[in-house]
Each structure stands twice: as structure tokens, then as C-alpha cells.
Amino acid sequence: MGILKKIKLPSDIKKLTNEQKNQLCSEVRKEIIETVSKNGGHLSSNLGAVELTVAVLSVFSPPEDKIIFDVGHQSYAYKILTDRRKSFETLRLKGGVSGFPKIKESKYDSSTGGHASDSVSMGIGISAGKKIKGENENIVAITGDGAMSGGLVFEGLNNIHAAGKMIMILNDNEMSISDSVGSFSNHLSKIRSTGGYIKAKRGLQKFITNLPVVGQSVHDALVSSKEAFKRAIYDHGYFTDMGLDYYGPVDGHDIEGLCRVLSAAKENRAPCVVHVVTKKGRGYSFAEKDPCRFHGVGAFNKASGRMLSERKETFSDCFGEYIANKGGENHKICAITAAMTDGTGLSDFKKSYPERFFDVGIAEEHAAVFASGLALEGLIPVTAIYSAFLLRATDEIIHNCILEKKHMVFAIDRAGFVGEDGETHNGVLDVSVFSNFPGVEIYAPASFSELKSMLDEAIDSFDGIAFVRYPKGSETEFTKGYKYSGNPYDVLSSGSDTVVITYGRTFSSALEVLAEKKADIIKLNKLSYVEDIAEVLKIYKKAVFIEEGNKSGGIAEKLGRKIAEEKIDIDYKISAIEGAFVPHMTIEEAFSEYMMDKEGILKTIGE
């Protein structure tokens, strides 16, 4: 019987020997690889955090002690070792275990989150609350070093003395999703290259303590001046200059060393930092060699590392190819992303035009303002960010971009359902937010051809803030080759007295309905013209608006208001997301759940 099967409660880990803990790590890794190879998920980051997780559970006692994960995609081992081992095989499946921390899923999850840079602020808030209440539990914020490229971490660190006891564990794995960028990453690199502080300190302390007669007194004197002692051995002034005690760097795969350092940090009554160096993909050779490819994966063959499904060209690929070519034609174009160079398809642009490519780190707010500065200088910034994450920059987009009426393009990747990543990643809010901003245009391509043509218009012709939103994955067989007419909207007729109104990816489902002559289609290409189609609706008896986004504030609601104002006699229905965040499930399951596939549309028409 393996060690893992004997773990009934996380507290059982405390009873294990170091040898047994190392065996446990091997078993947990095997469980992660087994499940992710079937269900897909985040592999590299989780494999790198196994020993760290075991060490944390060896020293601390959740749920009384609060363990906060940032980034959330390094929490798989924690889920297995708390109360979700038996259900872990349902990871990312509809109704199963989430791929991210989730308060309503388990009492052991202290926060809900799927993006970076928030653990320090969350930890400070919880710690300050406990201090006010006179409580003394430990707060542990596990922060990926990729998250240190986000400004929110530094906002938190600036306020860290509001906390009581709190340990910030800096999980330094030398990369985030794409290679880490920025000054802080460079600072960590210097620390890593120097190396060995804890080991050197431990050896020197042992040597001095064992000196005859004077050993202990010398040791005590050094302890009383520990700041000078640390600085004499090692330059790590960033955190200590902020008044924080610093431990590290520590080998993140050495259970004994991790437990020793975490135990020392636990005794610290003030906020402190433990710097842990880990390797992404640890224990699985394919992920170690290519941690970026195995960051987020679909199902794969464990033995060969090959993906089980043939990879199709995606909208991100299409965008990347387009912008790399366009950058050669127009030297004013600059490409910007927020730590997602590969994910947004910008690798080729980066290689071809490094002087015009900018990865600003996990800092969407900065990306928007930085792009605005480029626009002020007459350049054309094209900023590619996932829909769910671009919302972080909403205020900056208003104040620094729209109000100044600059020419800028935001390429909104992963617009709409994203599948198994769930609530924190679905891109279903951007339209209901950005469509309310005056003077902007939102383009909604349904095919690769349309994406390229709409980007051409946004870059070459539209003089303002343009959003071009496109979904995760590939174009469908129904939309393949569909060309942009240049019109704000297209009408496709089958002679029906019912019309389906849609835009973007759901156009494919509407085409299936059109093929059966169950309804006509009005396809919106540019969303600011939605009210113009009210006049067209007067020839129909029934209209169904399918919107892969939020109903409240969405385009369908705007049209509904116009229909009411014009007193148009038509049975008008909306299929959109209402009153909920979309949980993790496949994109196909989401389309069915929210009545956006062919069957759902036909059912809505018939109701």
C-alpha cells in the first residue's frame, strides 16, 4: 500500500519521516500526471510545487492556518493532499474538481482565484483581520515569481506591515507562462546565481556554536545582529530594505530543508519572506524539457508526451501569423502582451521585430497605459490580452486611451467560453463592459478570414480605439472561409419569418439552423451598429438573439431596448448568460448548457 492512500487528513503528513515524505511526493506526481494526461490541465507548474506543498502541510495546519495560492494553477498537489484525492480524477470535468482554488469546493481552500499577483494582498487582509480579532493562526501566501511582474504584488508589499503574522513564499521557478520579464525577475536571477545562503548560514552557525568556550556566546552575538550577518554572506536587499525578514534561497525540492526553513519562519511574529527555488515540470522529463508547452495541456500520452488530439490552427495562431506579416508592411505597428507571448501567438513578431515587441509581464493596467504612450508618439500599438484578464485594465482604457481618442487596437483573445478553466477565465464580460464606452468599435470575427480583414480595418482605417475579439480554439467547418463583407452586419435569408441574431463564434450554430431553413440570420460584424438592425426586424414575427456573453449590459439587451422604444411588434428572446459565472466544463458542454448550439437555438425558436 502506498503512502498516499494512508493520508486521510493533511495532518497525517506531519507523522511521516523525510524518506516517507519524498515517497509521498513521487506518488502525488504520479497522480497529477495520470489525471492531467486524461483530462488536460496545468502540468508544469503543479509538478514543480509538490515538495513545497508537502513541506507546507508538514509545518502548518489548514484549515486553521490559511494557505493561499497565487498563481492558482500550482494547487493540484494541495487538492490531492487535503480532501480531494478520491475525486481528483474529476479534475476540470463538468461538476468535478476545479483546476483552481475554490472556497465553496473545500474548507481547506482559503480563497478563490485563477489569476496572478493577488496572494500577498489577500494574505495581508486575512492577517490584519485576525490581528484585529486577536487570533493568531498562520497565514501563508504562496506566490509564483511570474506573479512578481504584476503591480498588485508591490501594492500589497507596500502595505504588508498592516499584517500580523504572515509568510510570503516566493516560489521562484525561473519562469511564469512565457519567460518572466522585468527588473524583479532579473533581481531573482542574481540571487539564484549567487545561491546557497541558507546552506552557508547553517554551516557557519554550526561551526561557531561548536567552538570551545566561546562558541555559544559568539553565536548569540551574531543572532542579535542577524541583519548584518545576512548581508555579510549574501546580497538580498530588496525584501530586507522593506523591513521584512528574508529566508533563502532554499532548494524547493529538499523536503528536510524546506521544513526547517518554514518552521523558522513560522516562529517569526512579523511578516517575512521565504524564497524557494523550484523547477517547473519536475519529475516528468517532457515537461522539464519544455515547461511552456506543458503549462496548459489537453489529454496526452504519458509515455511519449504527445498530445492525443491533433492540434488545429487556432484564432491565436491566425492572429500571430497576421500580425507578424503586418509588422513587416507597417513599421509603426508595435505588439504588446502581458506575460502571454506564446499564448497570444506573438512569438514570431517577437523574433522578427524585437525592438517593437513588448512583454510587460502580468501587468494589464500598465500594458494599456504603455500602449497609450506609444500611440501618443504616432505608433500603432496592438495589445493582445485574454478577455478575462483585460478587465483588469478597464479604468486605464477609459482614462488613458478612450478619453484621449487615440488610435489603438486591443486584440481580445479567448473571448467567450474557454472551457475547463472555468469561472476565472471565461471571457464573457468584455462586451457588456466595453460596448458601453462611447467612440469605440468592437469587431466580432467568426472565421480566420474575417479576423484578418477586421484587423486590417482596425489598423489601417479605423481612427480610434478598436477591440477585435475572437474565441479560444479554431474556426468551424461551417464558418471556414467566411469572408468579411465590410458591412456592419450581414443578413442571410432562407425565407423564414424567424430570425437568429448573433455575432462571433455562435454564428456557426446559427448557420446550422439556416441550413435546415428554420430561421434567417442577422450576423453582426461591428457591435456598435446593433440598434441599426431594429428596422430590419419589422419583417419578422420572431427574433432570437444568441449572445456568448453576459446578458446584463450586453448587445442583445441594447437591441431589446431599441425594439421597445420603436414599439416593434415582434416576439423577441435572448439566449445569454444570466445571473451566474460559468463553471468549468468543455466549450461544447457550455454551448449546450446555455442553449447556444443548434439544438438549443431550435428549442428556443420553438418555445
Q: What percent of the chain has pLDDT over 70?
A: 89
Contacts 24+ apart (CB under 8 A), 456-463: 456/326, 457/484, 457/486, 458/409, 459/326, 459/330, 459/333, 459/380, 459/382, 459/409, 462/407, 463/407
Q: What percent of the chain has pLDDT over 90?
A: 81
Q: Same structural domain for residues 440 and 531?
A: no
Counting every residue written for the chain, the total comes to 607
Q: Which residues contact 387 (CB under 8 A, 6 or more apart)?
A: 412, 413, 414, 415, 416, 427, 428, 429, 430, 469
Q: Which residue has the higher pLDDT, 248 or 409?
A: 409
All cell numbers assigned to 11: 495532518
Indicate if the alpha-carbon torsion angle 69, 72, 78, 79 is positive or negative. Answer: positive
Give the structural domain span for 221.
197-233
- Confidence (pLDDT) at 188: 46
Is pLDDT at 149 greater than 90 in this prediction? no
Dump pLDDT digits (tens) for 78-132: 999 999 999 999 999 999 999 999 999 999 999 988 878 899 999 999 999 999 9
Residue 321 lies in a domain: yes
- Confidence (pLDDT) at 447: 98
- Confidence (pLDDT) at 1: 61
Q: For residue 580, give the DSSP letter.
A: S
- Confidence (pLDDT) at 484: 98
Dump pLDDT digits (tens) for 32-43: 999 999 999 999
Cα distance between residue 486 and residue 9, in whole Å: 61
Q: Same structural domain for residues 559 and 592?
A: yes
Q: Same structural domain for residues 70 and 132?
A: yes
pTM: 0.88
Cα distance between residue 537 and residue 524, in whole Å: 14
- Confidence (pLDDT) at 217: 58
Q: Which residue has the higher pLDDT, 336 or 186?
A: 336
Residue 458 lies in a domain: yes
Dump pLDDT digits (tens) for 341-354: 999 999 999 999 99
- Confidence (pLDDT) at 169: 96
In this prediction, residue 239 has a pLDDT band, given cuts at 50, 70 and 90, of confident
Q: Same structural domain for residues 276 and 357?
A: no
Q: Which of 441, 469, 497 is the last residue before a domain boundary?
A: 469
Cα distance between residue 122 and residue 98, in whole Å: 20
Q: Same structural domain for residues 208 and 223?
A: yes
When divided into structural domains, the chain yields a total of 4
State the CATH number of the domain containing residue 433: 3.40.50.970
Residue 208 lies in a domain: yes
Q: Same structural domain for residues 156 and 256?
A: yes
In this prediction, residue 195 has a pLDDT band, given cuts at 50, 70 and 90, of very low
Residue 3 lies in a domain: no
Q: Same structural domain for residues 49 and 120?
A: yes
Is pLDDT at 46 greater than 80 in this prediction? yes
All cell numbers assigned to 480: 471556414
Phi/psi-derived region of residue 305, left when phi > 0, alpha when psi is between -120 and 50, beta in every other case = left
Q: Same structural domain for residues 187 and 201?
A: no
Mean pLDDT for all residues in the chain? 90
Least confident of 77-91, 216-230, 507-521, 535-549: 216-230
Cα distance between residue 5 and residue 30, in whole Å: 13
Dump pLDDT digits (tens) for 410-445: 999 999 999 999 999 999 999 999 999 999 999 999
Q: Same structural domain for residues 184 and 211?
A: no
Phi/psi-derived region of residue 52, left when phi > 0, alpha when psi is between -120 and 50, beta in every other case = alpha
Mean pLDDT of 294-322: 94
- Confidence (pLDDT) at 400: 95
Helices (H), 461-586: 507-515, 555-566
Residue 304 lies in a domain: no
Q: Which residue has the higher pLDDT, 411 or 179?
A: 411
Residue 302 lies in a domain: no
Residue pair 358/335 in contact (Cβ under 8 Å)? The answer is yes
Indicate if the alpha-carbon torsion angle 153, 144, 581, 102 is positive or negative. Answer: negative
Dump pLDDT digits (tens) for 136-145: 999 999 998 6
Residue 307 lies in a domain: no
Is pLDDT at 224 greater than 80 in this prediction? no
Angle made by CA atoms 487, 472, 343, in degrees to the nearest 5:
115
Q: Which residue has the higher pLDDT, 225 or 413?
A: 413
Query: In this structure, are strands 489-492 and 520-524 parallel, antiparallel, or unpaired?
Result: antiparallel
Least confident of 35-44, 160-169, 178-187, 538-547: 178-187
Nearest to 414, CA basis, from 529, 309, 319: 319
End-to-end CA distance of the chain: 56
In this prediction, residue 228 has a pLDDT band, given cuts at 50, 70 and 90, of very low
Cα distance between residue 561 and residue 571, in whole Å: 13
Q: Same structural domain for residues 222 and 124?
A: no
Residue pair 318/92 in contact (Cβ under 8 Å)? The answer is no
| H or E, element range at 277 | strand 272-277
Cα distance between residue 104 and residue 108, in whole Å: 10
- Confidence (pLDDT) at 537: 97
Angle made by CA atoms 99, 103, 108, in degrees to the nearest 5:
90
Cα distance between residue 486 and residue 54, in whole Å: 57
Nearest to 474, CA basis, from 292, 318, 326, 309: 318
Angle between helices 448-460 and 315-329 (to 10 degrees): 40
Cα distance between residue 589 and residue 4, in whole Å: 33
State the amino acid at position 302 in one-letter form.
K
Q: Which of 419, 439, 469 is the last residue before a domain boundary?
A: 469
Residue 585 lies in a domain: yes
Cα distance between residue 241 and residue 244, in whole Å: 7
Least confident of 266-270, 320-324, 334-338: 266-270
Q: Same structural domain for residues 101 and 212?
A: no
Nearest to 31, CA basis, from 23, 110, 286: 23
Mean pLDDT of 51-68: 97
DSSP string, 450-476: HHHHHHHHHHHT--SEEEEE--SS---
Mean pLDDT of 569-586: 95
Dump pLDDT digits (tens) for 384-407: 999 999 999 999 999 999 998 889
- Confidence (pLDDT) at 212: 62
Q: Same structural domain for residues 74 and 175?
A: yes
- Confidence (pLDDT) at 405: 83
